Amino acid sequence: MATKKVSIYSTPTCVYCNMAKDFFNENGVKYENFDVASDVAKRKEMMEKSGQLGVPVITVGDELIVGFDEGRLRELLEIK
């Protein structure tokens, strides 16, 4: 499995954010979680990266994914 840095900008009540975190946990993917509901600086950073307020925003290495796209995540993380 590739060792790319994985980050997720999420909110506690976001269904797709929780689906993405469950996916990471089930596949042993280490990730950094930023709660943009309570962290204003990270919310601003997320908006600058993605150009929007929708969550989740996931970064895998230099790739940016808006929303939970399991197929794309499997591809980027080399998970079968």
pLDDT digits (tens, 9 = 90+) for 43-71: 999 999 999 999 999 999 999 999 999 99
Is the residue at 48 inside a domain? yes
Structural domain count of the chain: 1
Is the residue at 17 inside a domain? yes
What's the whole-model pTM score? 0.93
Is the residue at 13 inside a domain? yes
Is the residue at 74 inside a domain? no
Is the residue at 37 inside a domain? yes
Range of the domain at 44: 6-59
Q: What is the DSSP string of the chain?
A: -----EEEEE-TT-HHHHHHHHHHHHTT---EEEETTT-HHHHHHHHHHHSS--S-EEEETTEEEES--HHHHHHHHT--
Q: pLDDT tens digit string along 13-53?
A: 999 999 999 999 999 999 999 999 999 999 999 999 999 99
CATH of the domain at 14: 3.40.30.10
